[in-house]
Structure 1
């Protein structure tokens, strides 16, 4: 793997390409590499500045004519669930999430493929192979965990682990000021459980338990319906020209 200096990271700009969220728009991204001993510190700083991580790359939008992408982070310590969110937590009370080191498995990939085939058949990740998935999980130089969600078993209160088939997975970076949800997916057969929402609620719970102030959700894209869920978790902050602004 090519090594890059971490004291003074180099930033690069991608060529314009069609936006995957807004029809008729073109996106550009500025990015740098996250490698070496300083990668965790750099990832913290860049995430706080609106970047996202994908493998060993940190990137953020740098579009010429559009500012629809807005970085969102939940104020975990102040969060209060809505009535619907409380119902979702109750509906999934039989699940437990177990954090593992960032190591891929065939079971994870099988669930990942089922999720993509059901929810994102035409998306940019639809042709990812098992090797691509393995790289997505393990190509990280920061503190990354894979959280696997399974049903609670009779020994879960002792072991802290669920049992049975894998139902949902979250790839999560643990940062100095919060948790950053890099990617998550779930069994599409359990659509009625609202597992995507449940995993965000579980990350808020984890952040609160760890005394961390934030859960980073990535970008809310104003005008993109499939991103609208991100603004439901309030209070939260949006990154603007003058820094992070509260959004209730």
Structure 2
């Protein structure tokens, strides 16, 4: 799921693209950085400097995947949490920061979602794929891992599968486990489970295929949300690691995503 040991990437990024979310803070930061170099369009860049929050970083990474050209991304936090981002400092030389950064390589989930009318959609999820009830009726979901049905009927508000990079996001809010980046694991986490009430989820090898089949989808409709993309009236989702779609995040030395995941487990307030 996540590879790389946080080592220096050994590359020299000469052509940088500057991308900013549409918030006032991010646009002000963009204006402050414009004079630091000759920025190039994303299609011509060796690496991207991304100004915003985690949501904008995910949006940028998905745009790269959709365009079929993925380059390393160095984020600077102008949002709220900034889990995937570095600290913003307008005084620092941005080119030097990017070229001193350490890299982490992420493989997202490849999700095949089938709707009630038989349409098949292929989407990728960098953080997680969530199945969520659409109405006040609880969802009923059959859970298959590997070649075996593990839970015949999970009655719940929903269920999600999170990557190590996404394990501190929605998964953590749903009381799922935090996964080390190099663990090659996935978190399968129920959302407000009613039956079986004591099931708290599972930690799975990321090589295993997972199938989530919606039971009684007409009466109990379910939506699938992969990061920021939503599909409604789902009948079934099948997911596995997208091993051919590696993404690279760049972090300042000592500020890696791995350290943030470890630190998150010691927050007590």
Larger radius of gyration: 2
> TM-score by structure 1 length?
0.29
Larger strand proportion of the pair: 2
> TM-score by structure 2 length?
0.27
Larger helix proportion of the pair: 1
